[in-house]
Amino acid sequence: MRRAIVLGGTGVVGRAVAAWLRPRGWRVDLVARTPREPFPDVLVADRYDPAALRAVVGGGADLLVDCLCYTAAHASALLPLLTDVGAAVVLSARAVYVDDAGHHVNSDEPVSFAHPVTEQQPTVAASGGDDFQSRCGYAACKVAAEQVLLDSGLPVSVLRASKIHGAGSARPVSEVFVARALAGNAVLRLAHPGYADHLTAAANVAQLVDLVAAAPGARILNVADADVPSRAAAAGAVAAHLGHHWKVRDDPGGDQPSWGQPRPMVLDTAAARRLGFRPQRFARTIGTEIDWLAAAARSR
């Protein structure tokens, strides 16, 4: 049986990778600092403790997925372990890209891309520091980590995702819509309902992880959903999934999700598609996150 190890395995991507690979004959070991529901059999290890990392990965695996690599130092600590790994995937983000004016998604000024963003789009300058938890430092640290991994020549695929949605998401994209639907709102007052964004389902990430495992290599791949939903379309998808009906009204003082912009940044996924990637649309994948949020709300 093929073995996959997921570092940061109890988060949104780890859950989706396990759900995708296990029915396809994989043994998936989820690694986290502490066990928690619904993961009673999680492997307990601190990803940032070299000895703990060796203990978990040192025996080798067919696939390693790292959801917690943010800096050059994190990447360097991973390299010695990858010689015993058939294929590796490291999560990165669209935040690394800059437009012609040098703006990125965490800049004070909004980004503006005339075309879908390919993997060849310029990025922010790399930083060898550890300031990955700040708005400005996050992308620079990610770029430095990417460079360490790709310069190694090892079979590491860097996946640049957008806002990831799914069960276990730290910032659920559907949260406000689920809350309003469960409250029975007949009218959804929504700020800028036409604002849109290119989102990434964790299930789409998992599909691409599976394809990478079958074709190991050093590469960068964008990963995103098949469509770019507006806030209004996303609200409609949530309501439909929950069997709810409402009217969406444009109200500048209404609910304002944490995503969406007048000119959305769109990721070009052609490179991933050449590997066989067939991303699903937002409405087909958001149900996992909706059900997770609804179950949590009802349990409260």
- The pLDDT assigned to 80 comes to 93
- The pLDDT assigned to 218 comes to 97
Cα–Cα dist 205/267, whole Å? 14
Is 254:189 a contact under the CB 8 Å cutoff? yes
> Where along the chain do its domains lie?
2-293
**Residue 67 neighbours by CB under 8 Å, 6+ apart:** 6, 7, 8, 9, 11, 13, 14, 91
Residue 38 in this model has a pLDDT that exceeds 80: no
Is 51:39 a contact under the CB 8 Å cutoff? no
What pLDDT digit, counting tens, does each position of 46-72 carry? 999 999 999 988 888 999 999 999 999
Residue 136 in this model has a pLDDT that exceeds 90: no
Is 140:126 a contact under the CB 8 Å cutoff? yes
**Residue corresponding to tokens 């999560």:** 91
Does domain 2-293 fall into CATH 3.40.50.720?
A: yes
Confidence of residue 40 (pLDDT cuts 50, 70, 90): confident
How much is the average pLDDT of 163-180? 97
- The pLDDT assigned to 156 comes to 98
Confidence of residue 139 (pLDDT cuts 50, 70, 90): very high
Residue 32 in this model has a pLDDT that exceeds 80: yes
What pLDDT digit, counting tens, does each position of 87-119 carry? 999 999 999 999 999 999 988 888 999 999 999
Structure tokens at 123: 């990025």
pTM value is: 0.96
Confidence of residue 275 (pLDDT cuts 50, 70, 90): very high
